[in-house]
């Protein structure tokens, strides 16, 4: 998968060439800043890979790939206002560095910019791509609203949680792949299969993230292990633990007690809740769930009418995504 790095670099270069120097600068500087913060650029890379796998070229898919990355960064910008997040990729968020009004408006402008980039794609399937892009955009809004709703709810069912991460994260990965396929001229069935591959892989990835937050090797994990536990984030692990502990009144009380613990007990809380998770076996249940979605993703891949060599990049990518240390 040395291709990933090559494509990442290509996207990074092309993003920096976007020449976002319009007036007034108060509108455009925050957009330049946001796009310069870096990131894995996984979505646009998937668009390029998909277009090539289906017989197109990466240049053909470039504008669409950039559109998706700009859209993704627009959602991060507005999410950061809503979450009142001070930092994004270790740098000040736009609403802190400038102010919330500028963050709202430059986010809106980024969303327009993403539509304009997609409109620049020269492809017979442009209308199809635009329809998919906007369907995905509204789903991402729904996912973000559900995520905010869940923070205020005492309990969230596992299917609701999976639905939320599907909308907030997986549909855009799926869309990135499908748009690449459509631009290459794939048929509708194959385009749907690669969409399903992306969707299920996205859900698997997000669930794996929940597990890693608790069980990652602290030396290899970029963030603080146990961060989700400290903030009572309603992850798959916590929701499953809440569900299972209902059958054990003692454990249920213990979990509730730790969820009310103050910041000064963060370290003990992480240890205690992790032990509870171990006792209830939620890690194994979560791993099985990851496997389930991973498997559905691969099954979708099997159905695509391309030869194994053409599909290799997708198998490799799924493997690469899922082999993060646990």
Burial bucket for residue 253 (CB in 10 Å: 0-12, 13-18, 19+): exposed
Residue with tokens 């669409």: 64
Q: Considering the complex, state which of residue 130 and residue 158 has its C-beta at the smaller distance from a copy of itself.
A: 130
**If binding is defined by CB under 8 A, does position 275 make contact with a copy of itself?**
no
**Nearest approach, Cβ of residue 76 and a copy of itself (Å):** 13
Q: Is 87 strand, coil or helix? A: strand
User: Which of 14, 111, 227, 232 forms a contact with a copy of itself (CB under 8 A)?
Assistant: 111
- What is the footprint of a copy of itself within residues 141-170 (CB under 8 A)? 141-142, 144-146, 148-149
**Nearest approach, Cβ of residue 130 and a copy of itself (Å):** 6
**If binding is defined by CB under 8 A, does position 116 make contact with a copy of itself?**
yes
Question: Over the Cα atoms of the chain, what is R_g?
Answer: 21
Count of residues engaged in binding a copy of itself, rule: CB under 8 A: 37
How far from the centroid of its chain's Cα atoms is residue 143's Cα? Answer: 11
Q: How far is it, in rounded angstroms, from Cα 272 to Cα 292?
A: 28
**If binding is defined by CB under 8 A, does position 259 make contact with a copy of itself?**
no
Supply angle C-alpha 97, 12, 311, rounded to 5. 130
User: Which of 9, 87, 89, 135 forms a contact with a copy of itself (CB under 8 A)?
Assistant: 135
**If binding is defined by CB under 8 A, does position 78 make contact with a copy of itself?**
yes
Q: How far is it, in rounded angstroms, from Cα 4 to Cα 119?
A: 25
**If binding is defined by CB under 8 A, does position 126 make contact with a copy of itself?**
yes
Q: Considering the complex, state which of residue 24 and residue 222 has its C-beta at the smaller distance from a copy of itself.
A: 24
Residue with tokens 């597990």: 211
User: Which of 108, 252, 254, 271 forms a contact with a copy of itself (CB under 8 A)?
Assistant: 108
**If binding is defined by CB under 8 A, does position 119 make contact with a copy of itself?**
yes
**If binding is defined by CB under 8 A, does position 303 make contact with a copy of itself?**
no
**If binding is defined by CB under 8 A, does position 313 make contact with a copy of itself?**
no
Stretch that binds a copy of itself, among 61-69, 100-108, 186-194, 313-321 (CB under 8 A): 100-108
**Nearest approach, Cβ of residue 168 and a copy of itself (Å):** 12
DSSP string covering 89-132, please? TTEE-HHHHS-HHHHHHHHHHHHHHHHHHHHT---TTHHHHHHH
User: Which of 96, 109, 225, 313 forms a contact with a copy of itself (CB under 8 A)?
Assistant: 109
How far from the centroid of its chain's Cα atoms is residue 222's Cα? Answer: 16
Residue with tokens 């997000």: 206
**If binding is defined by CB under 8 A, does position 102 make contact with a copy of itself?**
yes
Q: How far is it, in rounded angstroms, from Cα 322 to Cα 253?
A: 34
* Peptide bond before residue 54 is cis, with ω within 30 degrees of 0: no
Q: How far is it, in rounded angstroms, from Cα 160 to Cα 172?
A: 18
**If binding is defined by CB under 8 A, does position 247 make contact with a copy of itself?**
no
How far from the centroid of its chain's Cα atoms is residue 83's Cα? Answer: 16
**If binding is defined by CB under 8 A, does position 181 make contact with a copy of itself?**
no
**Nearest approach, Cβ of residue 250 and a copy of itself (Å):** 35
The closest of 135, 38, 143, 41 to 82, measured between CA atoms, is 143
Q: Which residues bind a copy of itself (CB under 8 A)?
A: 22-24, 26-27, 78, 81-82, 100-102, 104-105, 107-109, 111-113, 115-116, 119, 126-127, 130-131, 134-135, 137-138, 141-142, 144-146, 148-149
């Amino acid at each position: 998968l040395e291709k990933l790095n090559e494509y990442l670099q290509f996207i990074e270069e092309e993003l920096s060439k976007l020449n976002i120097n319009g007036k007034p600068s108060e509108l455009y500087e925050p957009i330049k800043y946001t796009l310069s913060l870096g990131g894995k650029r996984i979505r646009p890379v998937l668009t390029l890979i998909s277009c090539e796998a289906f017989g197109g070229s990466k240049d053909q898919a470039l504008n669409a790939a950039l559109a998706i990355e700009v859209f993704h960064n627009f959602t991060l910008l507005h999410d950061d206002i809503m979450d009142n997040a001070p930092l994004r990729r270790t740098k000040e968020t736009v609403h802190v560095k400038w102010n919330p009004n500028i963050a709202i408006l430059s986010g809106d402008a980024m969303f327009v910019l993403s539509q304009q980039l997609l409109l620049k794609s020269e492809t017979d399937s442009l209308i199809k791509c635009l329809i998919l892009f906007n369907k995905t955009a509204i789903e991402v809004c729904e996912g973000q609203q559900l995520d905010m709703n869940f923070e205020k709810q005492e309990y969230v069912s596992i299917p609701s949680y999976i639905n939320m991460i599907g909308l907030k994260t997986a549909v855009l990965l799926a869309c990135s792949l499908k748009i690449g396929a459509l631009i290459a001229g794939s048929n509708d069935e194959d385009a749907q299969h690669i969409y399903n591959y992306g969707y299920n892989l996205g859900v698997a990835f997000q669930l794996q993230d929940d597990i890693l937050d608790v069980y990652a090797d602290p030396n290899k994990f970029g963030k603080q292990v146990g961060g989700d536990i400290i903030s009572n984030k309603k992850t798959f692990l916590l929701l499953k633990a809440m569900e299972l502990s209902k059958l054990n009144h003692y454990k249920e009380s213990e979990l509730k007690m730790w969820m009310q613990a103050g910041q000064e007990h963060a370290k003990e809380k992480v240890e205690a809740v992790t032990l509870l998770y171990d006792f209830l076996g939620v890690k194994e249940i979560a791993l099985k769930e990851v496997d389930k979605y991973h498997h559905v993703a691969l099954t979708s891949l099997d159905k695509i009418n391309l030869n194994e060599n053409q599909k290799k990049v997708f198998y490799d990518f799924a493997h690469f995504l899922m082999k993060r240390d646990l």
